Homo-oligomer: A and B are copies of this chain.
Amino acid sequence: MSVTIKEIADIAGVSRGTVDRVLNNRGNVNPETENRVKEIAQRMGYRPNRAARALATRKNPIKLGFVVPAEGNSFFDDVIKGLNKQAMKLVDYGVSIEIRTIKGFDVEKQLDIIEELINLPINGLIITPIDDEVISKKLKELSENGIPVITTNSDISNANRLCYVGSDYYKGGATAAGLMKYLIKDNGKVGIITGSLKMLGHRLRVDGFIDQIKKSKINVDIVGIKECNDDNFQSYEVAKSMLTQNPDIEALFIAAGGTEGICEAVKHLELGGKLKIICFDLIPSVKKFMKMGLVDFTISQDPEYQGWKPVELLYDYLVNEVQPQKEHYYTKTEINIAENI
Contacts and interface: CB of A to CB of B under 8 A. Distances in A.
Interface of A: 1-2, 49-52, 54-55, 58, 61, 91-93, 171, 174-175, 177-179, 182-183, 212, 296, 299, 332-340
Contacts of A178: 337-340
Given A1-B61, A182-B182, A177 B339 contact: yes
Given A333-B340, A334-B340, A335-B337, 18 more contacts: A2-B91, A49-B55, A50-B92, A51-B55, A51-B58, A171-B340, A174-B340, A175-B337, A175-B340, A178-B339, A178-B340, A179-B337, A182-B183, A212-B339, A332-B340, A334-B335, A335-B335, A335-B340
A52 B55 contact: yes
12 contacts: A50-B51, A50-B92, A51-B92, A175-B337, A177-B339, A179-B337, A182-B183, A182-B296, A332-B340, A334-B340, A335-B335, A335-B336
Contacts of A171: 339-340
A250 B43 CA distance: 62
Nearest to A302: B332
A339 B91 CA distance: 39
